[in-house]
Amino acid sequence: AITMEWHGYSENKNSSLARALMVSTVITSKSILRGRDRLGLKVMPIGCGTIYKRKILEDVGGWDYRMIQDDYELGARLIKLGCKICSSSSPVFVEVPDNLISFYIQQTRWAMGTMEVLVNRFYHIINSKAKLYQKIEIIIYLSQYIPIILTFIGGLALAIASFTNFNINLSLPILAIWVSALVAYAYIFIKASVKMGISIVKSLQALGRLSAYTVGISPYLLVSTIKAFSKSRTYVVTPKGTRVRNNKIGLPILFFGIIFIFSSIIYFMRGDIINSIWLLYYSIGYLYTFIAFVKGL
């Protein structure tokens, strides 16, 4: 099979989210497809952007319609057979979400789908003809939403601790590494944005909105990941190019935002400046996302 390079587009030219997703789609496509291929890692098929040999599809029995991420699931079976999946720089254009609700639907479905593949096709990966380091990397790749979820769980634990006598202190060196990673990604994002003809100011606005939305829906990513273990899970296909209202996600996002900002104040009053700054930063993503939800952005 051969994967092509995804290029995002949107009919909504004024959406900062769509603008951010168009940039991140190119960055992600070049890293998880062409980048991993060049490193000798196993490339997974990506949705409509993959061309397959007909005989191979017949040999593995085609797609499994019962799986959410049927492209990743098919990839796991192809890898088990020792099939080669390559990447190319040929573009395929895909429409990206342009509002919070569409983004929420897409990301929660993907979080559920990647974990479902990891759980149900773990045997295929472990018993594939791939090398040990390739198998480990595939498992890490399919766990791509875990860091976001662990950040939420860690932030919640830190917030709860502020209301008790239990002490949790963030490590300054680890925090410095984390900030460095954010700065590095921001540089890559802005560089890619400018190359696509987007100004630095609009790039920063887009990156800020995408980052805030990702933080804001973190609790839902956790729930969706847990649902992957259920046989009765349901999901919705991402609506694109149309406005969709959902009145259920706003209040929980606001709740967590309030919890995090109050705990930040408590840590500040105690003199725990590092904890306070991090929770203040983290709370902003939730509060911003709630405001965007109310405005229907």
What is residue 245's predicted lDDT score, i.e. its pLDDT?
A: 60
Beta-carbon contacts of 14 under 8 Å, excluding residues fewer than 6 positions away, are none
Residue 68, pLDDT > 70, answer yes
Distance CA(117)–CA(1), nearest Å, equals 19
Residue 240, pLDDT > 70, answer no
Distance CA(175)–CA(164), nearest Å, equals 23
Distance CA(265)–CA(244), nearest Å, equals 35
Residue 243, pLDDT > 70, answer no
Q: Please give the average per-residue pLDDT across 110-135, as a whole number.
A: 93
Mean confidence (pLDDT) of the chain: 90
First to last CA, the chain: 38
Residue 35, pLDDT > 80, answer yes
Q: Please give the average per-residue pLDDT across 122-126, as a whole number.
A: 93
Number of other residues whose CB lies within 10 A of the CB of residue 269 = 10
pTM: 0.90
**Model pLDDT for residues 266-282, shown as the tens digit of each residue:** 999 998 899 999 999 99
The DSSP output letter for 51 is: E
Distance CA(106)–CA(87), nearest Å, equals 24
> Using CB atoms within 10 A of its CB, is residue 140 exposed (0-12), middle (13-18) or buried (19+)?
exposed
